[in-house]
Structure 1
């Protein structure tokens, strides 16, 4: 008769299995994402018109937003302003001016923190808190959101989508917050950070109207003028999406939230 002897596993093997188990637990959300498919925000749109989305983020500051509004009014251009709710609460007259002059209000969250570091319940609270303030102050339905610092993951997009939002990133970055000088900001938008990557139809341009980006005031008139000379029309993201046949990347096309939002007035 053959006797089978089972060896007790060594401490080294047990430690290795323990480490593997911890890795799998720590990255279970990423592992799930591999099989369920990564969700993506909207970086740009597929359009047949010479339309470009113009956007500005504001989370703090007193000096930059008003001059930018003056420039947009003078140039007859409308944009989407992604606002943090504390800033909007503090600057209600400016928010109401944005709406009066035809601009679209989007959410830039409540606290300026990375939403992907929060649980789903906390993300929902951040978005809902911001929404209450922005809609009350602006009188618009707010259904576009740009995550603070552009930080997102499947969880952020899923929660935002559940709440009726579309998450908006950008395909052209002015890098104005780095204060590189007006000429560099102009070049970043018109020519791109790499050759051939300048703004074109369907792109979404990222500017800031916080005081962290003083170069934008000087750069913006030239950017608008040169894009107009190329035949482009600058517009809010909501309008850009209403003219789009699709969005990029493909993972940003969420079937249960495919209708492009419009800045409709609330009943407040």
Structure 2
């Protein structure tokens, strides 16, 4: 009978396997995406400056957008507004005011529906129909999109990329749409849900300027002033991208060969 003797692994191998397991658990979403070929939107960027992207989504409402513009003007801050085309069409003068005051306009789609539930042609139609409206109002090319509800899959990312768009997500969520109160919105941005997850250089902050987020009006000045006091600069996403060396996660740095076959 053959006797098999198992050698006890060295402490070094055990430690290496332990580190690998920790990394896979801590960053399981990114690890999974690397091995599955999953495409990603841009959540944040790598920068050598203290720049942070400031963004607002608007899909409905009459009361919140203008006070937010007033705050940004007072603080001398420009941001990116991701607009749904029906809202923009209804509020054309306000959209033009955003442009005059130096803000960037991105697309928030046409219908406020999850694009990952649609086929490629339907996704294309949603993006291009919103683009036609927004470009007519702004007189500018629209090349950034935040998908409704942040919903995406490979088909959404690949279709948007084919149309010349970069899909923008966020790394810091104010959760203002939950109406948790202004102090909670401030805490969500500056401190985050866990220690070390508050806004820092390279992050993209998500706010809403729809009427679903009235707390934003009161919370925004505190957020801006606190970030400024730490030497940070708040910028539209397009300018943040122009200062970046790369985007995060790595799967958001799309290359033609990485895209699924059309």
With the shorter chain as reference, the TM-score category is 0.7 to 0.9
Aligned residues: 225
CA deviation vs aligned residue, 1:4-29 (integer Å, no higher than 9, x gap): xxxxxxxxxxxxxxxxxxxxxxxxxx
Return the alpha-carbon distance in structure 2 between the equivalents of residues 153 and 34 of structure 1: 14
1:109 aligned residue: 109
1:200 aligned residue: 200
1:48 aligned residue: 48
1:239 aligned residue: 239
1:143 aligned residue: 143
Return the alpha-carbon distance in structure 2 between the equivalents of residues 35 and 62 of structure 1: 45
Return the alpha-carbon distance in structure 2 between the equivalents of residues 70 and 136 of structure 1: 25
Return the alpha-carbon distance in structure 2 between the equivalents of residues 35 and 172 of structure 1: 26
Return the alpha-carbon distance in structure 2 between the equivalents of residues 127 and 37 of structure 1: 24
Equivalences for 1:13-162 in 2 at 5 Å? 37-162=37-162
1:250 aligned residue: 250
Structure 1 runs, 4 residues or longer, greater than 6 Å off: 33-36
Structure 1 or 2, whichever has the larger Rg, is 1
CA 1:99–1:194 in 2, change beyond 3 Å: closer, same or farther?
same
Deviation of 1:139 after TM superposition, in Å, equals 1.2
2:228 aligned residue: 228
User: Which stretches in structure 1 are left out of the alignment for 5+ residues?
Assistant: 1-32, 257-268
Return the alpha-carbon distance in structure 2 between the equivalents of residues 152 and 79 of structure 1: 23
User: Which stretches in structure 2 are left out of the alignment for 5+ residues?
Assistant: 1-32, 257-262
CA deviation vs aligned residue, 1:97-140 (integer Å, no higher than 9, x gap): 00000000000000000000000000000000000000001111
Return the alpha-carbon distance in structure 1 between the equivalents of residues 211 and 52 of structure 2: 24
Deviation of 1:255 after TM superposition, in Å, equals 2.8
Return the alpha-carbon distance in structure 2 between the equivalents of residues 226 and 101 of structure 1: 22
Return the alpha-carbon distance in structure 2 between the equivalents of residues 206 and 241 of structure 1: 16
Deviation of 1:34 after TM superposition, in Å, equals 8.6
Q: TM-score, normalised by structure 2?
A: 0.84
Q: Residue 164 of structure 2: SS of its match in structure 1?
A: coil
Q: Residue 60 of structure 1: SS of its match in structure 2?
A: coil
Deviation of 1:195 after TM superposition, in Å, equals 1.6
Q: Residue 245 of structure 1: SS of its match in structure 2?
A: strand
CA 1:79–1:251 in 2, change beyond 3 Å: closer, same or farther?
same
Q: TM-score, normalised by structure 1?
A: 0.82
Deviation of 1:35 after TM superposition, in Å, equals 7.1
1:182 aligned residue: 182
1:215 aligned residue: 215
Return the alpha-carbon distance in structure 1 between the equivalents of residues 138 and 224 of structure 2: 26
CA 1:189–1:35 in 2, change beyond 3 Å: closer, same or farther?
closer
CA 1:122–1:180 in 2, change beyond 3 Å: closer, same or farther?
same
Return the alpha-carbon distance in structure 1 between the equivalents of residues 54 and 142 of structure 2: 17
Deviation of 1:196 after TM superposition, in Å, equals 1.3
Return the alpha-carbon distance in structure 1 between the equivalents of residues 238 and 251 of structure 2: 19
